Structure 1
Amino acid sequence: MIEFDVAQQRLAQAGRLPERTETCELGAALGRILAQDIQAQLDMPPADNSAMDGYAVRLADVSDGRVLPIQQRCYAGEVPETLKEGMAIRIFTGSLLPPGADTVIIQENCQEDEHGVRILEAPEVGANIRRRGEDMRHGEVLIQSGTRLTASHIAQLAAQGHAALSVYPGLTVGILTTGDELTPAGQPLRPGQIYNSNAPMLQAQLLALGVAAVRAVHAADTLEAIRDALQSLLAKCDLVLTVGGVSVGEKDLVKPAIESIGGQLDLWKVRMKPGKPLALAYVQDKPLVCLPGNPVSSYAVFALMVSPLVRRLQGRRETLPAIRYGVLQGERHFQGDREEFIRVQLDSDEQGRLLVRPFGNQGSGVISSLPWAQALARIPADAHVAPGDVVRIYEYSQWQA
């Protein structure tokens, strides 16, 4: 069997980085993948300004009990006068710092009347001033190419005046499910049938990753139906996923269907649980990944194996998210000959340690464990792992985003 880390790296490198780019308006850029480094077009703040409502002064003019006449009241957006010696200018948060002023004293430490302002408590020189360029400096790289844009990036880009961006095209992914025993949700079940949970599950996982469009089709268990479905998906999609039907049974027709349209299937037995069977092929220069038919296995393999490939095809800088570490809880001991990925919930103790609580039934058919869990915890192969041991954590919030 192929080792998990080897298989994961192969999948992560299986797709080509996008070559085309397109222009996207800032208002539609959320979730898009940036295709250019973004540099600061201006200093932020563009000039020294006040961080608080208060009074701009020369600190040297401030002494106990001294009243400073109010020279001007200057609001944000107005241009202040040059501060005269022995005077104060009333300013507000965001107001430009008057030339000649070196400190802003917050209004809570001042007392104003018709004669001027009395400073009740003087700060250090330079207090309550936001300096030009302390946030962003003209010319520095703010966001790197390959970044998936979030609301915080949008705020930064808007503050810099960027109205349009160069981004990579959105990804279209196809899903092919097979099996005459499967019925779409909402339809009556005939004897021997089950509902198709893989297609909507994978569609949701893909959309959570920011895939632009998902095409899901189901094919009957015939070579012709599977071949035609594959050709249709490959004509419209950047990546195709198949679910089940890739083994060697009489009805496992995905492999010959792929070969009949020019694909060469590389079938792996990955040293992982759940999800041992996995296959990769290229058809029409596009990657095609065959997932196991068990929904729990398919879910885990997608999160750990396929999501890095999707990120690469999207053009992201980082395809493998960070891994955390936590302390295994409960009473169960784990030991096996494969890397096991158990479904867990996460918590923390008073010392800030991440606590890992496994689902009671780790069977590969237990679909109810999927919405319960927040992460997969990795149990190394050929190792005995007991409560209190530290394990690696693959959080859904990171690996499915």
Structure 2
Amino acid sequence: MLDFDTAQQRLLDLPITDIPVETISLQKACGHVLAQDVTATLDMPSADNSSMDGYALRLQDYAPDRALPVQQRVFAGQTPAPQEPGKISRIFTGSLIPEGADTVVIQEVCTEEDGQVTITEAPVKQQHIRFQGEDTRAGSVILSKGTVLGAAEIGLIATQGIATLPVYRQLKVGILTTGDELVPVGQPRESSQIFNSNAPMLTALFHTLGASVQHVLHATDDMDATRNALITLFAECDLVISVGGVSVGEKDLVKPALEALGASLDFWKVRMKPGKPVALSSVNNVPVICLPGNPVSAYTVLTVLVSPLIRKLQGRSQCLPSRMQATLKTDRVFNETRDEFLRVRITQDEETGLLMAEPYDRQGSGMSSSLPWANAFARVPAVQKYTGGDRVWVYPKEDWIR
């Protein structure tokens, strides 16, 4: 068995071909990955403007108890006349600063009467002014290639007036579930059968990761059915995920089906719990990841082991999300021969401020109820005893499944 870190790195080291690039509108860019740097086309702000409602003046014209006549009223979107000596301009948030003015005084410390303004608090030069280019400068890179576009990134791009973007085409994923015992959700089942929860679960996981699921196929425990399903997926997808059928049972047919298509396994079995039976292979340069059939195991493996590869295949610059340290909150002792990924809920201790990781009370791989309850996975190293009070690395789900 490969240790977890080696297996994860082997996935990240996979050579990938050029990812197709497409140009899309800014309105449709959310969730896509930038295929090139975005360079600012103009300064932001594009001109000096006021950050407050108030009055603009030349500081040299201020004197305690001196009333200054209002020269003009300047609203956002208007071009003001140059500031005249000895006068003051009424100004509003976002209004351009009149040429020659160097200070803005907030309206709360000003009194205006009959067109004359008295300032009751001494101003400081250049206060309350947003200066041209203080946010971004024309010609500077504001977002780098490989950035995932969210609302904040799209908002920044919009300030530059950029309406279309080159992005990497969404990763096309094919999912293959296997097994005679599985029945599609919503269909009648026999007592010996179970519903195929892996198909909708993994489809949802890929959706949150920003990938496009092209096919979700199911193969019975039949060599021809398994091989034909794989042929379809390899022909139309950038990544293939199989679920189940990769162990050593008489009806575990994924491995021989892949070998019949000319593939060989790059690795098989990872020293992690849940999720030991994991395999990596490829056909015609299309990688296939073989996940264990147990839903909890499949979810865990895809989240903490495989998701960095998915990000790489999407063209992202950041493939490994952050981890954090937390203190185990439990009376149990954990001591496995494999790295164990506990489903935990992260909370903050009100007294100490420390992050606490409370394991779900039933950690068996058949406990699907643990997945929506947990908000993170806590990694307990192999062949070491861990219990309450020990510090562990945790993988927050909000970072690892997006």
Structure 2 CA distance for aligned equivalents of residues 108 and 17 of structure 1: 61
Structure 1 CA distance for aligned equivalents of residues 313 and 363 of structure 2: 32
Corresponding residue for 1:374? 375
Contact preservation (8 Å) 2:19, 2:314: no
Structure 2 CA distance for aligned equivalents of residues 204 and 284 of structure 1: 27
Contact preservation (8 Å) 2:16, 2:313: yes
Contact preservation (8 Å) 1:17, 1:313: no
Q: How many correspondences in the alignment?
A: 401
Corresponding residue for 2:181? 181
Shift of 1:173: 0.4
Structure 2 CA distance for aligned equivalents of residues 382 and 126 of structure 1: 63
Corresponding residue for 2:354? 353
2:274 aligned with 1:274: yes
2:317 aligned with 1:317: yes
Q: Deviations over 1:269-324 (max 9, x none)?
A: 21111111111111011001100011111100000122111111111111111111
Shift of 1:33: 0.7
Shift of 1:14: 2.3
- TM-score, normalised to structure 1's length? 0.98
Contact preservation (8 Å) 1:67, 1:115: no
- TM-score, normalised to structure 2's length? 0.97
Structure 2 CA distance for aligned equivalents of residues 15 and 94 of structure 1: 50
2:228 aligned with 1:228: yes
SS at match of 1:258: helix
Structure 2 CA distance for aligned equivalents of residues 184 and 354 of structure 1: 40
Shift of 1:212: 2.4
Change (3 A) 1:17 1:400: farther
Corresponding residue for 1:288? 288
Structure 1 CA distance for aligned equivalents of residues 115 and 247 of structure 2: 90
Residue ranges of structure 1 left out of the alignment (5+ in a row): none
SS at match of 1:305: helix
* Residue type at the aligned position of 1:374: N
SS at match of 2:230: helix
* Residue type at the aligned position of 2:199: A
* C-alpha RMSD of the superposition: 1.2
Corresponding residue for 2:87? 87
Contact preservation (8 Å) 1:12, 1:309: yes
Corresponding residue for 1:132? 132
* Residue type at the aligned position of 1:217: L
* Residue type at the aligned position of 2:308: P
Structure 2 CA distance for aligned equivalents of residues 266 and 378 of structure 1: 25
Contact preservation (8 Å) 1:18, 1:168: no
Residue ranges of structure 2 left out of the alignment (5+ in a row): none
2:369 aligned with 1:399: no
SS at match of 1:271: strand
| Match runs of 1:206-221 below 5 Å | 206-221=206-221
* Residue type at the aligned position of 2:268: W
| Match runs of 1:40-59 below 5 Å | 40-59=40-59
Structure 1 CA distance for aligned equivalents of residues 83 and 92 of structure 2: 15
Q: Which moved more, 1:55-64 or 1:144-153?
A: 55-64
Structure 1 CA distance for aligned equivalents of residues 347 and 249 of structure 2: 43
Structure 2 CA distance for aligned equivalents of residues 203 and 174 of structure 1: 9
* Residue type at the aligned position of 2:353: G
Q: Where in structure 1 do 4 or more consecutive aligned residues deviate above 6 Å?
A: none
| Match runs of 1:299-310 below 5 Å | 299-310=299-310
Q: Which moved more, 1:160-169 or 1:349-358?
A: 349-358
Structure 2 CA distance for aligned equivalents of residues 152 and 267 of structure 1: 40
